[in-house]
Chains A and B, each alone.
Chain A
Amino acid sequence: MMVSAVHAPESLPAATRLLDHGGRVLGGGTLVMAAVNAGEAPSSELISLHRLGLSGITITEDGVRVGAATPLRDLLGEPGLAFLHPALRGIGSPTLRNTATVGGNLFAGGPYGDLAVCLLALDATVTVAGRSGTHATTVTGVTGTGGIVTSVRFGIPEPGTWRYLKAQRRRLNSASIVSVAAVIGPRADDAAGSTRIALGGVAPSPVRATSAEAVLAGRPLTATTAEAAGRAALADIAPADDAYASAWYRRRVLPVHLRRALLG
């Protein structure tokens, strides 16, 4: 499809009106412009977010708020988000990260979207503006909402509780074979003390490894329980063959990789 207009609304109501008329969001461009260049624009009417003031990072004792249009580069410049930096540095190249945005990463889809995997493990709240105002959803709830993602909010995990590990073809600029992000319970804000595990590269979009979480619930994290969790996670995935790995290989890698991620 050819592009007939790139709108640059200056208010969210104006942007959501355009969305309701069939327009599609253009963020940093790394996903949508790639489609445009291939003659596969998601709509003839694109809605650029660049005049909406949706970029910026705020860190308070209540947590972190990141505007949807914030480039990934800006997160790498924020010392308060150091725990996310290894994951961020695994996304594309520095050049790509100068324009790729936080909001866009939620729509990257497997085997991309490592930040979305992290945000799912962090139980991030995603704010979406739509026709009837804004509402809060989750990382897995953004698709099909018919709105515009405006920000994500999450808490910074307690020291020593964050895990992230990515299996990839190369050390730099490689899509995911398997990405694992986890917050090891107990957390201050989670009385049940549960561990949250999110996986990337093994399904069309990031998934919670609920079967693995169930194995760990109420049990100490040991080599034995971590290995059992790794095997259990096979029930949570729907891997595909792609240019980076086969579904077979992803299934082979996941249990080992999840065990390694959990044990740090």
Chain B
Amino acid sequence: MEIKTTRFGQVEIDETLIITVPEGILGFEDFTRYIILDHLDKESPFKWFQSIDDPSLAFVITDPLIFVPTYKAKVPKEEVSSIDLSDASKALIVVIVNIKRDHSEITVNLQGPIVINVEKKLAKQMVIRGSEYSVRHVIYSRKQEENLTTTPSTYKKEVKSQVL
């Protein structure tokens, strides 16, 4: 089927890949159907979580493990009853990306991951309890990149400590 999007114009999608978010994304509870679209090329770590119901609604998502290899979202059973997830291994966990308007910083929301039941194409934005993970975990900052040109080793160290 073809869908309308404000960012990408008309997009042809495979209907069978539509993901239903019964409770919606927090703050956007009225919109429950999404599709994952590639960003430019398949190699990019970023994808778009595009609403089917609202052409202007889309989020950038990514695999948190690319940036935070130790990330572990505990998924309590009662939290995911609405997406029929009995087997955690069938879950795909993605996080929403935020970019500062001046492009100086990129963050990911580790406290509100989207848990996708891949088999049933159902998803939910979870809220992780406790303060272990931030809603604004920095995965890139221009400040650090500027350091990179002068002292590469310091930059790498900083990134590492942030990730772990």
Q: Are A and B bound to each other? A: no
Chain B positions near chain A (C-beta within 8 angstroms): none
Chain A positions near chain B (C-beta within 8 angstroms): none
